[in-house]
Amino acid sequence: MLGILMFCCRMPSRRRLRQISHSQEFHENWCSLSGARTDAVAHPDTLMYLLKRLDNAELGAVAPKIIKALIRAKRLPKAFLDGHLMIAVDGVCTFSSHDYHCEQCLVMNHQDGSTSYLHSMLEAKVVCSDGVTLSIMSEPIINPKTTTYDKQDCELEAFKRLAPRLKAALPRTKLLLLLDSLYACAPVFELCREHRWQFIATFKRGSIPTLFDEAMTLLSLHPHHVKTRTTDGVSQRWRWLDDLVYLSHGNQFTLGFIDCHETHQSETLDDKYFAWLTSFSPRKSTVDAYGTGGRLRWKIENEGNNQQKNGYSMEHFCDCSDTNALVGVFLLLQLAHTLMQLVARSSIVEGFETLEFLAYLLLESLRNTRLPRYLFAPKLPPLQIRTAPP
């Protein structure tokens, strides 16, 4: 609980948590919330001592339970496209240094001759069209505890480990994976087909050059596969194919292809081009919906990973001195980020400017305002916290 609160309040360091916990009001409030009467709030080093020894599977099991509870309560209507739960998958760097730290660090050699040593996580988040991004599962991207491996770990290998875990967590839920161009490859297509998942993957010519060129040729032969629309000064021209055949090592995949030319009336904005490969069969009535869904993949970066790096000081907390603790801290951060998004959209908050401002109000309340005793009465009537209206 203390680790989650540390991130909910966006404390920049464990030292700051230690300084704040000396407040008498904070101590009393924390005893009331935790139900434990103690002489002092637990030291942040005790938290790290626990995380070094805790099985991260216990922490990792919490996020899927939250998502399934929200789905059952019908609180995520904007997380579905064509009846499928949208889950974006992307890698995120949690620690980076130019100095060698441990044998499990990933090694990245740059063109200028420098070398970076880093730790990363593969993150799967439920994304909603209204900007909500809720973590559902994380998988470490980490080298074995030996320097004699043939090939270091990577996003695609981590995805192969994450896929069966995701299937076990949501065995009957229809899933739609939103992927970047790295995942536009036969092994990922085969995994999705095996688990009966749909996918929309960003497609660049460098991913599969021959397939991209074939798609461009086929589009020229189907001039009627065009749909245009203009909204708020933005003109979009959608094109699609529903029978693009891809052969790879004896496996055949029939894929859909969508691209979009976006033109802005404002001269200050540049025109844009997007392309996707998908397991769906796009039609004129659905092509813009699938393309718009594919563009939601960026929310895992902007609304999720980047916000956690900049607003929650993720890289500062994720010290790679102990790999197990690093993963545990990352999982606590995901739970805190989910919790604060739900609080921000609940009936208990009347208005706020940003999630950062909400974190500031929470911390100041715990430091300066004693929680009323009646809130913790043993016979308190049941309380419902509802999703606030938009």
Q: State pLDDT tens for residues 335-386.
A: 999 999 898 888 887 766 678 888 998 999 999 999 888 888 778 887 777 7
pLDDT at 299: 78
Tokens 């994720």, located at residue: 318
pLDDT at 57: 94
Closest residue by Cα to residue 196 from 160, 227, 171: 171
Angle between helices 24-34 and 355-368 (to 10 degrees): 100
The domains located in the chain, with CATH, are 1-53+345-390 (no CATH), 54-344 (3.90.350.10)
Pull the structure tokens for residue 132: 């909500």
Q: How many CB atoms lie within 10 A of CB 38?
A: 10
Query: For all residues of the chain together, what is the average pLDDT?
Result: 88
Q: Is the pTM of this model over 0.85?
A: yes
pLDDT at 313: 66
Q: Residue 270 above 90 pLDDT?
A: no
pLDDT at 21: 85
Tokens 């461009």, located at residue: 216
pLDDT at 319: 60
Question: pLDDT tens across 204-249, in order?
Answer: 999 999 999 999 999 999 999 999 998 888 899 999 999 999 999 8
Quote the CA–CA distance of 347 and 385 in Å, as a whole number.
6
Q: Residue 390 above 60 pLDDT?
A: no
Looking at this protein, which amino acid is placed at residue 329?
A: V
CB 158 within 8 A of CB 140: yes
Q: What single string gives the DSSP state of each residue in 182-239? A: GG-SHHHHHHHHHHT-EEEEE--TTTSHHHHHHHHHHHHT-TT-EEEEEETTEEEEEE
Q: CB under 8 Å to 129, separation ≥6 — which residues?
A: 78, 79, 296
Pull the structure tokens for residue 146: 């030996």
**pLDDT band at 149; cut points 50, 70, 90:** low
The percentage of the chain sitting over the pLDDT mark of 70, rounded to a whole number, equals 93
Question: pLDDT tens across 22-68, in order?
Answer: 888 998 898 888 887 788 888 888 888 999 999 999 999 999 999 99
